[in-house]
């Protein structure tokens, strides 16, 4: 750890590669521990998104009669398209909501000088990715039931998620630091992630938003990812490569900045805790 330089442009990648074994072991322990003692165990990660999908489909598709296309009357289409946005938001929300308490809940690790605390951010993202993978199985089955085929472009979904994950891990590092010194941050993240969900095209198409307000929807970091995932998984269209490159650059900058801030503030963790 003494040779770790957060100012290096490769520090973000190194923080994962150098501690990949710790990240893997802690992620596996986190997933197993979350469902330990429950009757269904890890199957809860399958039940939860199914229940959410059913409730949101009924409320927005049946009660409010929301449609993604003016000519569509298919509730199943609405459910599938909405589910892409829902699981994208869940990935972000799980990480952001847990971030402020990561250090506070692991004070025993703070006193271990040799333990790479920055790896906890990757563990959080890894756990959220596990739940995303489970939800993706439901999504794939739903697309098959609806369209009877999976577009080849769906193989590009991981490429779209890479810059998104970089931005998330950067935000987690920053919130991990703030959560130690300002405990109120944990109360704000739930509100923030809820706002981001309703200001993103999760339950409605962007075309239904008045033009003067669409700029706020596009400024939401979720919007681009959700729209790109729908293009490749549902509609069979290729991604916006230029937009992805821009998002990758911004995502890496957010990750780098978050890691730099974390490393600069971690020296005071032990005193505060």
pLDDT of residue 2: 45
Judge whether 195 lies within some domain: yes
What domain range includes position 53?
11-272
Judge whether 5 lies within some domain: no
Q: For the segment 2-40, what is each residue's pLDDT rounded down to a tens digit? A: 456 777 878 899 999 999 999 999 999 988 877 776 655
DSSP notation for 88-155: HHHHHHHHHHHGGGTTGGGHHHHT-TTS-TTHHHHHHHHHHHHHHHHHHHHHHHHHHHHHSS--GGGG
pLDDT of residue 31: 85
Who wins on pLDDT, 9 or 74? Answer: 9
Judge whether 190 lies within some domain: yes
For the chain, the average pLDDT equals: 88
Judge whether 168 lies within some domain: yes
Judge whether 111 lies within some domain: yes
Judge whether 3 lies within some domain: no
Q: For the segment 180-220, what is each residue's pLDDT rounded down to a tens digit? A: 999 889 889 999 999 999 999 998 899 889 999 999 999 99
Judge whether 2 lies within some domain: no
Q: Which residue has the tokens 């941050």?
A: 185
Judge whether 6 lies within some domain: no
Q: For the segment 109-145, what is each residue's pLDDT rounded down to a tens digit? A: 877 667 888 999 999 999 999 999 989 988 998 899 8
Please tell me the total count of domains within the chain.
1
């Amino acid at each position: 750890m003494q040779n770790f330089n957060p100012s290096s442009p490769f520090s973000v990648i190194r923080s994962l590669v150098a501690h990949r074994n710790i990240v893997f072991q802690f992620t596996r322990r986190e997933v197993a521990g979350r469902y330990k003692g429950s009757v269904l165990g890890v199957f809860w990660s399958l039940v939860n998104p199914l229940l959410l999908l059913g409730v949101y489909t009924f409320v927005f598709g049946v009660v409010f009669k929301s449609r993604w296309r003016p000519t569509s009357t298919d509730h199943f289409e609405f459910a599938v398209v909405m589910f892409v946005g829902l699981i994208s938001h869940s990935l972000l929300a799980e990480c952001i909501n847990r971030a402020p308490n990561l250090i506070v809940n692991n004070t025993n690790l703070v006193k271990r000088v040799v333990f790479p605390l920055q790896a906890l951010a990757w563990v959080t993202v890894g756990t959220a990715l596990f739940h995303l993978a489970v939800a993706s199985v439901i999504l794939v089955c739903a697309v098959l039931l609806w369209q009877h085929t999976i577009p080849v472009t769906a193989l590009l979904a991981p490429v779209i998620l890479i810059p998104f994950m970089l931005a998330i891990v950067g935000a987690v590092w920053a919130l991990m630091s703030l959560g130690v010194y300002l405990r109120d941050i944990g109360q704000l993240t739930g509100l923030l992630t809820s706002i981001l969900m309703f200001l993103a095209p999760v339950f409605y198409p962007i075309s239904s938003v008045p033009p003067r307000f669409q700029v706020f929807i596009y400024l939401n970091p979720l919007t681009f990812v959700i729209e790109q995932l729908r293009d490749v998984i549902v509609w069979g269209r290729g991604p916006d490569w230029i937009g992805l490159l821009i998002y990758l650059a911004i995502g890496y900058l957010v990750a780098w900045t978050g890691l730099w801030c974390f490393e600069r503030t971690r020296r005071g963790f032990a005193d505060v805790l």
